[in-house]
Structure 1
Amino acid sequence: MSNDNAAIYAEMSQDLVAMTALSDDGDQTKYNSADRLWSKRSGYTADVKPNGVATGLSITPGAANDTVAVSAGTCYLAGVLTSVSADSALSVPRPAVSNYQQLAITVTSAGALAVVEGSEHTAFSETWDADGGSPLIPVGSILLGIVKYSSQTSAVVSASEIKQTSNSYRESYNFPTWAVRAYEVENSALGYAGVDFDAALLACHTGGIPKAVYAEYYTPEFAKLAETTDFVPPETSHSVSSTQIYGKTKGSSSSSLGQGSFTAYFEDGISDAMVTMKNESLFFKFFQDELVTSKYILCQGKLGLTRSFSPEEDPQGSCTISATDEAVEVTA
C-alpha cells in the first residue's frame, strides 16, 4: 500500500478538564475519565485527588467517658483541600441493648465531624453494615476511624477500641497509591484514560461503594505536521545471546524498546511550532492514509530534535520519540 496520503499528527495544545469525578470500572481499582487521552506534557499532567485525609485528623481517647478526641487536620473533598477543626470531646454513645457495637468517626461532605452508629449485636462482625459490623457511611463523607465497643458500661474509651488503619478503617487520600493511565488500547480499541490503584479501595459507603476519586487533567489537541517523512514508531526489538557450556550452547533472549523517529522540514527551524515543543512529552498519531481516521498508530513520548541548516535546502530536523511504552495500533 502506498504511503502517499500518510500523515503525522502531534499534540500541539492542551484543553483543561477541571476537577471531576472518575468512574469505578467495577473492581474498585480502575477508575476512568470520560476522555480517551490525558496529556503528559510538563505543566499539563493530571492532578489526582481521591477523597480522604491529607493531614492530621487522628483519633485518640477523650478525657471524658464515651468520647474521643479528633485532632485538627485537612482532607480532600471533591478535589478541594478542606480544613477540619479539632474536637477534644466528640461524643461516641455506647450500645443501649447489646454489648457489641461499632461506630464510624467521619468527616461529612460539608467538612464537619460526625458519628455514624452501626447495629448492636451479641458479637462483632467483620462484614460492613452487618449486625455488629462497621456501619456504611454516607456517600461523600470520609471515614477517619472506627470505635469498637464491647460493653454498655460508660467508661473512658481505650486506645485499643479505636481502629484507624488506612484502607481498612480509615480513608487517606494518598493510600492506596495509584498510577496514571494516560491512554489504553485493548483489542485494538482505544479505551478511556484514568488511574489504576495498587489495591482495591475500601467499600465503606452507602451501597457498598468506595470513596470518590477526582482528577483535573488536560486532553491533547492534535495538529498535522506539514512536510514530514520516514515515520518509525517506537517498538520493541529482541535479541539473543548465548553461552557455551559443556556439550551444548545455552541461549537467552532480551528485549529493548527503541526510539521512534521521523524527519521534518521547517520554514526557518527556529520559530516553527514544532520547534517550540522539543523536549516535551507528547502524543503522536501516524495515519498511513489520513482519509481513514479509524486506523492509526498511537504513541506518547518525549520529542527530541536535531536540526540541520543547509545553504541549499530548507532547514530540517531529525526527530526522535523517546517513549516508555511501545506504539500501539488503533483499528477499532
Structure 2
Amino acid sequence: MDWLWKFPTMNDDVLRELKKSVDEGFRAFTRAYGDSIEAAFSPLQSFLIWAERLLTGTPWPIILIVFAAIAWFASRSWKVVSGCVLTLVVIGYFDMWQDTMKTVSMIFVCTVLSIVIGLPLGILMARSNAMQKIVNPILDVMQTMPSFVYLIPVVMLLGIGRVPGVIAVVIYALPPMIRLTNLGIRMVDENVLEAADAFGSSSWQKLRNVQLPLALPTIMAGINQTIMMALAMVVIASMIGVQGLGQPVLKAISNQYFTLGVFNGLAIVGIAIIFDRISQAYGLRLQKHREIVHG
C-alpha cells in the first residue's frame, strides 16, 4: 500500500542524467556563444552608462526642476508636483541621492526597452488571434516564474554586471506592457474603425491615427505596471551587480543593518510613488481627453 502514500517519480538515475545533460548543454552553449551574445549587448551597456552618468552628473537642482516639469506636464496638479519634489528632497537630505539616481537611470533604461519590445508585440497580438494564442502562454510563464530564476540563465550567459541585471529586470517587467497594449487596441470601438475604413485609411494609418491614440490610456497603464515591476526587481537585481538603492538593502540584509535597509527601502517606495502618480495622472488625463472627444 506504499504506492498510495508516495507519488510515483522518475527513476533517480534517469532524472539525474536528464538534469546533468541539460546543464551541460547550456554550459556548452554559453562557452560557444557567450562572447558573441555579450558583444551584441554592448549598445545596451553604452545606453545604460550614458543614462547613469547623465543623472548622477547633473546638479540636483536641475534634476528637481526636470522632475517637477514632467509631473506638471503629466498631471497639471500642484499637489503631485510638490509631492514629487518633496520626496526627492527628503531622499537627498538622507544622503541617498546618488543611489537613487542610479536606480532611476536603470528604471528609465528598462522602461524604454520594455516599450520598444512590448509595443510591437502587443500590436501583433491585437492584429492576430493566432499570435495571441502563442504569446499568452509565454507571458503566463514569465509572470508566474519566481524572479530569482531569471538571474540564473542571464548570469550564466553574461556574467555579473549591470547589463545582465537590466536584462533580467526587463524580462520580469515586460508582460504588462505587452498585455495592456494588446488589450487597449482590441478595445477600440468597431464603429470608429469602420469610419476610418470609410475614409479610405490604410492599415498603417488606422493604427497610427486611430487605434494607438485611443488605446494610449491603456498603454500608459501598461507602462505604469512595467515601472512598478521593474522597481520590485531592484533589490533582487542588486545581487548580480546592479548599482543603486538595492545594494544598500542587500548589505543591510547581510549585516543586519536595520536603519540602512529601512531608509533605502523607503527611498524605493518614494520613487515608486513618484512614477506611479505621474504615470497614473497622465493616463487619467488621456482618458478624460478621449471621453471629451467621443462624448
TM > 0.5: no
TM range (shorter): under 0.3
Q: Higher strand share goes to which structure? A: 1
TM-score by length of 1: 0.20
Structure index of larger Rg: 1
